[in-house]
Amino acid sequence: MTKLLILSVSAGNGHVRAAQALAATAQSLTPPCTAVHIDAMAHVAGGFRKVYTDWYIQLVNRAPDLWSYLHQRTDATPHHAPSQRLRRGIERLSTGALVKEIRSEQPDAVICTHFLPAELLMRERNRGRIDYPVWLQITDYDLHNMWLVPGMTGYLAATEEVAFRLRARGIPSDRIHVTGIPVMPAFAEPNVPALARNTCVTELRLDPSRPVLLMASGGAGVGDLASMVERVLGLGLGLGGGDGQQGNFQVIALAGRNVETHGKLDALAKRYPGRMVAIGFTNEMHKLMAAADLVVTKPGGLTVSECLALGKPMLLISPIPGQEEHNAGFLMEEGAAWLAYDAIGLDYKVARLMADPAKLAAMATRSRALGKPQAARAVLQHVLGATENGAAA
């Protein structure tokens, strides 16, 4: 049986979720293959892990302008530049245990959903220590220089534009495959009939005859999630100052693992009975999205891919400079999303969209047209097909 090793990095959740989607989909193949998922950060030095994950999250939240500068600067820095060689040298000193763990798995092929393990394996291959193929799954709707790891067996791209950018930067066409970004099997089309919108709304004890707004995150410029939800619940549908009446829509508010936020949302739900439901950590995000007529979210690559897979229109907030800004630009160009720059814009655009079912329906149509719910299966078909045919590492 073919054994795949899937490597992610928990700098944000998207890279891990893409890896989980690939591992879960591998089990459903006929014939199935063995898929082992390893988060690289579980096998590196503690100090390195803290810098690579915690520092990144703090930087994008507290100093977005600095992150934007670093993102642009590294995008313009060649792979062979001294600063990049120094960075990779520091990474090697901190990831010896990870490399040892990868060697011990002895896979038939590797898929990386982050460039860090791909760079480590590039060096292993160049020194003749591995002979299996290594593939790189790009998890955003744009291309950054850090994803241009030389010598990969294949590069798996979200869109034709990302593939075009790979070719423009010197990657051979025969190594580029447009697959989309992997999402969990629960988001794939064969399961969509089971995700009937009204059924999912009813399970949440909301009214299926009234529109539903899913709010999944807060951030810079728009406020924390609880304050966002409170403002939105107080909106009237009149846009010329409002008539003081509450809007007709309902809200699903997703706090995730944030216990404090969940408590605030529970208190709000008691103040607005029948108009909102507060959700903590869940493994049923597909059902929450299926229930929603509009999703308010940050434009992370995996989150928006899940929305697209279910054909959901989006109102985007607080994009991280660089990759998430580019994701937002792609979605707006294609007509699947709007962007709220600040709290006032959020209030205005929620009211506009929830009062315009025809606009929401048009955005939903564009979203479904862009969605690639079978992306994980497409990735695995490329990787397994090449492995069975004896593709070179």
- Using one digit for the tens of pLDDT, what is the confidence trace for 333-353? 999 999 998 899 999 999 999
pLDDT score recorded for residue 51: 83
Angle, CA of 349, 350 and 354, to the nearest 5°: 115
pLDDT score recorded for residue 247: 66
3 state DSSP class of 264? helix
Cα separation, 254 vs 45, in Å, equals 33
Q: Which of the four pLDDT bands, split at 50, 70 and 90, describes residue 193?
A: low
Highest mean pLDDT: which of 19-33, 56-70, 172-186?
A: 172-186
- Enter the tokens of residue 61: 């939240």
Cis before 31? omega within 30: yes
Residue 274 backbone class (left: φ over 0; alpha: ψ -120 to 50; beta: rest)? left
Residue 194 has pLDDT above 60, yes or no: no
- Enter the tokens of residue 29: 């193949």
pLDDT score recorded for residue 135: 98
Average pLDDT over residues 193-214: 88
Residue 393 has pLDDT above 80, yes or no: no
- Report the mean per-residue pLDDT for the chain: 89
Could you list the beta-strand ranges (E) of 86-202. Answer: 109-112, 134-137, 154-157, 176-178
pLDDT tens-digit series, residues 174-191? 999 999 999 999 998 655
Q: In what helix (H) or strand (E) does residue 275 lie, and over which residues does it extend? A: none
Q: Residue 209 class from Cβ within 10 Å (0-12 exposed, 13-18 middle, 19+ buried)?
A: exposed
Cα separation, 317 vs 217, in Å, equals 8
Percent of the chain with pLDDT over 70: 92
Angle, CA of 43, 304 and 116, to the nearest 5°: 25
Cα separation, 234 vs 355, in Å, equals 14
pLDDT tens-digit series, residues 117-141? 999 999 888 888 888 999 999 999 9
Angle, CA of 125, 126 and 129, to the nearest 5°: 45
pLDDT score recorded for residue 218: 56
End-to-end CA distance of the chain: give it in Å, rounded: 19
Cis before 32? omega within 30: no
Residue 238 has pLDDT above 80, yes or no: no
Among 17-31, 143-157, 228-242, 262-276, the range scoring the smallest mean pLDDT is 228-242
Q: Which of the four pLDDT bands, split at 50, 70 and 90, describes residue 222?
A: low
